[in-house]
Structure 1
Amino acid sequence: MLALTFPHFDPVAVAVGPLAVRWYGLMYMIGFLGGWGLGRWRASRPGSGWSGTQVDDLVALLMLGVILGGRLGYVVFYEPMAYLADPLRIVRLWEGGMSFHGGLLGVLVCFWLFARRAGKSFFAVSDFIAPLVPLGLGAGRIGNFINGELWGRVSDAPWAMIFPGWEAGPYPRHPSQLYEFALEGVVLFALCWWFSARRRPEGAVSGLFAAGYGTFRFAVEFFREPDAHLGLLTGGLTMGQLLSIPLALYGVFLLWRAYSRGPRQPAT
């Protein structure tokens, strides 16, 4: 069976003496910078209700929320016992291991803190940021691909790929990181950006993001190899799917609530 060969990447993008910048961390930085730049642009538009300084402050706060929430979420949801056995692994971010759902919880806390300080509603903040988040998600999935981690299930598709390492085995697999990049990054960004440019009630953009991400992540998990230490869980679903179901349902609820209760807001 023919298969593509994984293009071996050096995990270190740039090295100067003992200092090394890894692709995984660089992808996160690209995601944050892209979101910050687009956020600045949106804030500069007439009637946005945002200043450039507010965008700067919020993005800086979100960086902390994403990193802390994403790492702690991965520890709690996916490998609690392994990290209890070696707690110092928690700070070794370059080895990978970030949870979107944990990062989302960290981001929600940041939204609440910022909204209180800036005198804005929670959903005014989340609606402004939601269209920017897929940039970071897409960049993170490219980082996963470069690291050769979170590969997919065994497949005979013509684009299946043999990933390095004994854990992946000598079998062609779905490049599920690229599927997630396409859906959670490119498609979700296009949907949220288009929708946020239209008149809509407060909370609707946040609902579309949650429903979209939850749906896309649930679908891609059918092609992604389950975590070896967890396997398939209730109903033959993965941990990612079990965490995505309530997120998608909550997104649908937010959309229903927004359109049934709120007046339409100007596009930003």
Structure 2
Amino acid sequence: MLIHPAIDPVALRLGPLSIHWYGITYLVAFGLFFWLGLRRLRHEPYASIRGDGAWSRRDVEDVLFYGVIGVVIGGRLGYCLFYKPAYYLSHPLEVFALWQGGMSFHGGMLGVVVAMLWFARARHKHWLQVADFVAPCVPTGLAAGRIGNFINGELWGRVADPALPWAMVFRGAGDAPRHPSQLYQFLLEGLLLFVLLWLYARRPRRTGQVAAAFLVGYGLLRFIAEYFREPDDYLGLLALNLSMGQWLCLPMIALGAGLWWWFGRLPQRP
């Protein structure tokens, strides 16, 4: 049985300025997105597009900028609406208290969808083409975020069998050994999803199918990981003994599967 290391959440202090590990993981996530985005420019169909619709380094920079805005705003609003709606309706100004923590992936994803629509309109690009470009670059950022969760010792897993070699005691979660669910999510919805989606996107696909595959892949892997993650104490398990995260994944899976099938039936866009 392992003990979670007591890692100071502050990585560096420069006078009154504190740089947190979680903030560093966000920077790593954005840096990985930019690096992978530049490599996506070499993939089809982006490498062959000419004229006004051609993709460039500036497009990668701008879609990252739009995406950062979408992640922050959508992630925060999603957390407030999906997880603590009654509290934030009573304390509306605390919605803006980002330093108190509280972000939702599903809300961040909706924010990124709006950001991609905004970017596509501004650049006169097809929205689904933008979504296909972005999707394979996202999982490594999710992986970085889960490392931040592990460093902070938050979002720990459910109680595990003490005989499990990697069972871990988290400070603040009692003395019971638990699953290091942050690392499970790092491996599943981070690294595994990245490898599968990157390889899938390398071959010609119908417009929209890569983005749809992301919805299915993330939804399935997050749904599985939630069985090892401790539900939020203010929510617990909901209907059918599923967590809020699992209920939010179900429409993702259904929508992604339906869109993937539908896009496969449409004629390929020139």
Which bin holds the TM-score, normalised by the shorter protein? over 0.9
Normalised by the length of structure 1, the TM-score is 0.93
Per mean C-alpha deviation after superposition, the further-off stretch among 200-209 and 44-53 is 44-53
Letter matched to residue 10 of structure 2: V
Per mean C-alpha deviation after superposition, the further-off stretch among 34-43 and 24-33 is 34-43
| Cα distance in structure 2, aligned partners of 1:137 and 1:129 | 13
Check whether the contact 1:24–1:94 (CA below 8 A) recurs between aligned residues: no
| Cα distance in structure 2, aligned partners of 1:216 and 1:66 | 20
Given candidates 179, 186, 209, the residue that maps to 1:204 is: 209
| Cα distance in structure 1, aligned partners of 2:28 and 2:170 | 25
**SS at the partner of 1:169?**
coil
Structure 2 stretches of 5 or more lacking a match? none
Given candidates 169, 194, 211, the residue that maps to 1:162 is: 169
Check whether the contact 1:199–1:264 (CA below 8 A) recurs between aligned residues: no
Q: How does 1:173-184 map to 2 (within 5 A)?
A: 173-184=178-189
Structure 1 stretches of 5 or more lacking a match? none
Partner of 2:9: 11
Per mean C-alpha deviation after superposition, the further-off stretch among 72-81 and 121-130 is 72-81
Query: CA separation of 1:264/1:219 partners in 2, compared to 1, >3 Å: closer, same or farther?
Result: farther
**SS at the partner of 1:192?**
helix
The CA deviation at 1:18 is 0.4
The CA deviation at 1:258 is 1.7
Q: Deviations over 1:4-62 (max 9, x none)?
A: 10011110111110011101111111101110121123225632631111111110011
The CA deviation at 1:185 is 0.6
Given candidates 15, 18, 29, the residue that maps to 1:31 is: 29
Q: How does 1:62-141 map to 2 (within 5 A)?
A: 62-87=67-92, 89-141=94-146
Letter matched to residue 160 of structure 1: A
The CA deviation at 1:94 is 4.2
Check whether the contact 1:25–1:94 (CA below 8 A) recurs between aligned residues: no
Partner of 1:250: 255
**SS at the partner of 1:195?**
helix
Q: What percent identity do the matched residue pairs reach? A: 51
| Cα distance in structure 1, aligned partners of 2:149 and 2:98 | 12
| Cα distance in structure 1, aligned partners of 2:252 and 2:226 | 15
| Cα distance in structure 2, aligned partners of 1:209 and 1:246 | 13
Q: How does 1:36-55 map to 2 (within 5 A)?
A: 36-43=34-41, 46-47=47-48, 49-55=54-60
| Cα distance in structure 1, aligned partners of 2:97 and 2:2 | 31
Partner of 2:150: 145
**SS at the partner of 2:227?**
coil
The CA deviation at 1:91 is 3.8
Normalised by the length of structure 2, the TM-score is 0.92
Check whether the contact 1:206–1:254 (CA below 8 A) recurs between aligned residues: no
Q: How many residues are matched?
A: 261
Given candidates 216, 223, 228, the residue that maps to 2:221 is: 216
